[in-house]
Structure 1
Amino acid sequence: MRNDELEAELEDLSSAEDFLDFFGIAYDSQVVFVNRLHILQRFHDYLEADKDGPTGDEGWMGYYSRHLTTAYQDFVASDARTEKVFKVFNDQNSKPAFVPLDTLLK
């Protein structure tokens, strides 16, 4: 399958479960339920980091499947807070916001 055709099919997928099912990747529904956005973002990050495309005889299906499998496995072995996929988890200088109670009552 050419990459153009594959990417056209991928445009119809909307959930992490859709992607995992499309690529035939077995998954624990509880892991996906808790981490679906993190898995998809990590998948995107892996694709962005690997601009070279498929290696050897891998093909585009294998290329996408490899990165999606790795993204999913990251959250099987860990959790969202540890993996820090989104910016909110990476803000080390952020402090809890303090709002005085009297300002809320005005």
Structure 2
Amino acid sequence: MCRCSANCNPINVNNILERLKRLSAAEEFFAVLWVSYDPKVLDVSRLHIMKRMGQYLASEDFSDLPDRVIAARAGAMLERAYDDFATSPPLTHRVFKVLKDHDPDNPATPGRTFVPLDSFLMPFEKE
């Protein structure tokens, strides 16, 4: 499991939401929020974990909460998202649209696609 090195300071909660918005690598989120992780799990599921954390964060209302509470909740959400994918593969959760659309257990409903007649009746251009 990875964790900040022993010389890291405890979590800095000041302006935590703004600081999280500026992060780019999944490892940075784990380090800032002091959440332990297995690099092997993160290597396989990083996008899924971050997407799921974003879904959890979007479901919360952080207005008028102190930074320490926001940091604690964000850390708990990251840990929860990580646990979702540490115990089962990404295909189980299908957090991305492309995976939801191609779920063999939930086939797409056959529908009618509208294609305008003009789109295929146009004369071919000569080269």
Do both share a fold (TM > 0.5)? yes
- Alignment of 1:12 onto 2:22: yes
What is the one-letter code of the residue matched to 2:75?
S
Indicate the SS of the match to 1:35: helix
- How many residues are treated as equivalent by the alignment? 90
> 1:30 pairs with 19, 37, 40, which one?
40
- Alignment of 1:68 onto 2:78: yes
User: Shift of residue 39 of structure 1?
Assistant: 0.5
User: Contact between 1:15 and 1:36, CA under 8 Å: does it hold in 2?
Assistant: no
User: Shift of residue 52 of structure 1?
Assistant: 5.9
User: Contact between 1:53 and 1:63, CA under 8 Å: does it hold in 2?
Assistant: no
User: Shift of residue 36 of structure 1?
Assistant: 0.6
Q: Which TM-score applies when normalising by structure 2? A: 0.63
The answer for unaligned runs of 5 or more in structure 2 is: 1-12, 102-106, 110-127
Give the greater-gyration-radius structure (CA): 2
- Alignment of 1:87 onto 2:87: no
The answer for unaligned runs of 5 or more in structure 1 is: 95-106
User: Shift of residue 74 of structure 1?
Assistant: 0.3
What is the one-letter code of the residue matched to 1:71?
A
- Alignment of 1:51 onto 2:66: no
User: Shift of residue 41 of structure 1?
Assistant: 0.3
Q: More deviation in 36-45 or 10-19?
A: 10-19
Higher helix residue share: 1
Q: Which TM-score applies when normalising by structure 1? A: 0.74
Q: What is the percent sequence identity of the aligned residues?
A: 32
Structure 2 CA distance for aligned equivalents of residues 68 and 44 of structure 1: 9
What is the one-letter code of the residue matched to 2:51?
Q
